[in-house]
Amino acid sequence: MRTPRAPAAGIIPAVLCILVLLTGGCGAGPTAPAWAASVCEALAPWRLEINGLTSSTQQQMTAQTTPAQAKENLVRMMAGAEQASETARRGVADAGVPDVSQGEQVSRGFLDSLTEVRDAYGRAGRTIDGLNTGQSGPFYDGVKAAVDTLNAEYDAGALDTSTLDSPELKRAFDEVPECR
């Protein structure tokens, strides 16, 4: 038999949280070290995936495959990078907003950058997917153009850390083991 729960049992934590909120707690984000660790944990697999994509794309561009095989492989790689970027973006979003000066701006900068990178991979994949594989020359020219655009968009979406001046986060990123 289940023991009935007292109605006040759920109210007490809520009241405590409201009291703490009114006095300045309960709504604070993670500390700089906790946030940096979460962000680095979210970005580590993404970096590996992107490095692998870069290497695979270069190999694919010089491999002795048919344009149809290259197209299939490149579209799959771009989709993987797009998904990895979204997974990293979600991980950074899940980290919350660090409880530091300019915490909201820093968090938003990371999220915006990852969103732009994710979208760039998606666009590159769709562009390559739309290329005609009937003639290898024009196909590979189209792939090169798509990759050049991807690189430009990737660079444009890079996080400009010079405007995000948080000594607490700089120290945390240098010190937490997850970021080494």
Query: Mean pLDDT in the chain?
Result: 83
List the domain boundaries for the chain. 32-179
Distance CA 68, CA 33 (A): 47
What is the pLDDT, as a whole number, of residue 15? 31
The CA–CA distances, whole Å, from 26 to 14, 36, 70, 92 equal 11, 20, 52, 20
Question: Above 90 in pLDDT, residue 24?
Answer: no
18: confidence class by pLDDT, cuts 50, 70, 90: very low
Q: DSSP for 103-167?
A: HHHHHHHHHHHHHHHHHHHHHHHHHHHTS--SSHHHHHHHHHHHHHHHHHHHHHTS--GGG---H
Q: What is the pTM of this model?
A: 0.80
At residue 23, does pLDDT exceed 80?
A: no
Identify which of 82, 83, 57 has the alpha carbon closest to the alpha carbon of residue 70.
57
pLDDT reading at 9 higher than 60: no
User: Do residues 139 and 73 make contact, with C-beta atoms less than 8 angstroms apart?
Assistant: no
What's the whole-number mean pLDDT along residues 117-140? 96
What is the pLDDT at residue 109?
92
d(CA 148, CA 26): 47
